[in-house]
Amino acid sequence: MAFSDQLLETGDHIWEAQKDHPFVRELATGELDEEAFLTWVRQDYRYLLDYARVFAIAGTKARDEETMTHLLEVAHTVLDYEMDLHREFAADYGIDRAELESVQKSPTCIAYTNYLVRTAHEGSLAETAAAIYPCGQGYLDIADHMAEIAPEEHRYTPFIEKYTSDDFREAVDWMRTFVDQCGERYPGEHEAMEEAFLTCARLEHQFWEMAYTREEWDL
């Protein structure tokens, strides 16, 4: 079994919890409250800035030119394409770029991005590969699930289509291969990779909860 599949098997209960989360179920049917979706848009915009940083940091740790090039290209793609998509989502609801850039991160968003950036800085390339994997594979699997249960087209259909697109599948395929390569090259890192993977998978689930409850600071 490929190491990426081993990680998914270990985190299967987290995947199932994500699929059953009300944010996911209600987005799939089009019933999700607009403010919950906009909370996700705002917070994920801030998340993606750090996600791009993680790929850039990982690129500096890669030992071969091909991996380094691809990691840095992904960082650019996140900044150039993915964030532009979020700006389009936001613009549909009257939220401009300046507002997105001024959003304060929620406690969950801070916890997740801080963990990712710290792993990229202090951990190995293998740990970083495992840490970024739940976001990519998770969104593909959750969006596929949404597509299966969506009764018809609705206002959130573009979200589902984006994360089930051929381009996104190709990106996740590379991410999966990257995890497998690291698993093969660094067998002594398997335990650390699993810990990073499960931590980020749990934070993915918490991110849906954060958006659904419109999490804010108490003070």
The DSSP result for 168-196, as a single string, is HHHHHHHHHHHHHHHHHH-GGGHHHHHHH
For residue 82, the model assigns a pLDDT of: 84
| Interacting residues of 173 by C-beta distance below 8 A, sequence separation 6+ | none
Q: pTM of the entire structure?
A: 0.96
Out of 109, 127, 135, 194, which one is annotated catalytic?
A: 135
For residue 90, the model assigns a pLDDT of: 86
Ramachandran region of residue 204, left (φ > 0), alpha (ψ -120 to 50) or beta?
alpha
Annotated active-site residue 31? The verdict is no
User: 113, exposed or middle or buried, with CB in 10 Å at 0-12, 13-18, 19+?
Assistant: buried
For residue 86, the model assigns a pLDDT of: 84
| pLDDT less than 50: residues of the chain | none
| Interacting residues of 202 by C-beta distance below 8 A, sequence separation 6+ | 14
What are 53-69's pLDDT values in tens digits? 999 999 999 999 999 99
Annotated active-site residue 109? The verdict is no
Question: Rounded CA gap, 50 and 78, in Å?
Answer: 10
